[in-house]
Amino acid sequence: MASLLRKVSVFILLLIALACVLDPLFTYIHKHSGGTKAQWLNAMHNEHYDAVVIGSSRALWNLDMNAVDEGCGMRTISLANNHFRPAEMLLAMKIFLRNKNSTKKLLLQVDSSVLTDEQEGFSSTLYDFVPFLDDTLIYDFLRERDPEWFWLRHVPFWRYTKYNFKWGLEQTLRSAIGKRPVPFDSTGSYFSPTNAFYGSQLYEFEPTTPASLGADLTELLQLCKSNGIEPVMFTSPNYRVRSPDEVRFAPNRIMATAGLQLFDFTDSLDAQIYFNDNRHLNRTGGERFTKLLMQFAICPGE
């Protein structure tokens, strides 16, 4: 039994040693390369913008910040990211401001799914910030939400093992040779490359939890106030998404209660030719929506 235990212990020790070597190596590579919004944001310092867009894929896919820059004569970027929820938006803005960046306006995409606990498909993407756990701002923010981040920070390599689909071997090797694809342009926009529609003729969205502004969005708005940033709320277009009225109009109701104006574009482009799926615009739809948002919310009258 003793020799068996000795062999198993040696194996475990070798594994721990390997993890201790790989963890700083992976961290170094990811901190010095790009490919995700979190890396892009962390590398951004002392930049000054007229407007910043933030939100989920419905902000990322649907808006072309280059067109905004041209059309409004402004300097804008998009911090929006796939699956971003209020927690990620808040953290992204905190990092943005901590790095001495500034903006006059914050264009915040809100809709029923952002305002409830339920969002289709995937869980929170806080793991986007995995390589930056030695950053106190990020670590404290994450640990406050889930004590597991303690282990993710302190158990060598556990963070890269757990989130290997995002920060795994392939991504690390690609980053090391500078070949990790960057799914957004220099303004942070991802503009859908296709006009194909692959949604359905009826998409039912009936969350069971009630919509509310939530602590993260409230804090985000307070952050805007304390930094002199004008928040502009908007809702991106949908195609045949059916929800009960209390869900459909939750953003309008909640923003009105909070004394905020909401530019509601939910039904503004209700035709299949503008969509990739029921909740994401295609290239043509994105161009139309970008113009609409410029006309009504970003630079009205210009």
- Pairing state between β 48-54 and 76-78: parallel
SS3 41: helix
Applying CB under 8 A, does 177 fall inside the site for another protein? no
Residue 257 structure tokens: 């209660």
- 34 or 71: CB nearest another protein: 34
Q: Which stretch binds another protein (CB under 8 A): 97-105, 120-128, 215-223, 242-250?
A: 120-128
Task: Report the distance separating Cα 278 and Cα 99, nearest Å.
Answer: 36
Applying CB under 8 A, which of residues 102, 161, 195, 295 lies at the interface with another protein?
161
Contacts of residues 153-158 at CB distance under 8 Å and 24 or more positions apart, as own/partner, are 155/19, 156/16, 156/19, 156/20, 156/22, 156/23, 157/18, 157/19, 157/20, 157/22, 157/23, 157/26, 158/19
CA of residue 120 relative to chain centroid, distance? 15
Kindly state the smallest distance separating residue 85's Cβ from another protein, in Å: 16
Output the CA–CA distances (angstroms, integers) from residue 37 to 106, 187, 222, 291, in the order listed.
Answer: 17, 11, 23, 24
A 10 A CB-CB count for 11 gives: 10
Kindly tell me which residue out of 75, 162, 240, 253 binds another protein, with binding defined by CB under 8 A.
Answer: 162
Q: Are 107 and 188 in contact (CB under 8 A)?
A: no
CB 197 → another protein: shortest distance, Å?
11
| Under rule CB under 8 A, residue 198 binds another protein | yes
45, 46, 123, 178: residue in contact with another protein (rule CB under 8 A): 123
| Closest CB 248 distance from another protein, rounded Å | 24
Between residue 4 and residue 33, which ones bind another protein under the rule CB under 8 A? 4, 8, 11, 15
**One of 45, 136, 165, 177 touching another protein (CB under 8 A):** 165
Query: What are residue 106's DSSP bridge partners?
Result: 52, 231
CB of 259 to another protein, least distance (A): 38
Min dist CB 30 to another protein, Å, is 15
Residue pair 22/79 in contact by the 8 Å Cβ criterion: no
Torsion on CA atoms 42, 67, 233, 230, rounded to nearest 10: 70
CB of 121 vs another protein, minimal distance in Å: 8
Which of 157, 205, 275, 289 forms a contact with another protein (CB under 8 A)? 157
Which residue number, 136 or 208, has a Cβ lying nearer to another protein? 208
Give residues 51-90 in contact with another protein (rule: CB under 8 A): none
The binding site for another protein (CB under 8 A) comprises 1, 3-4, 8, 11, 15, 122-123, 127, 157, 161-165, 168-170, 196, 198, 200
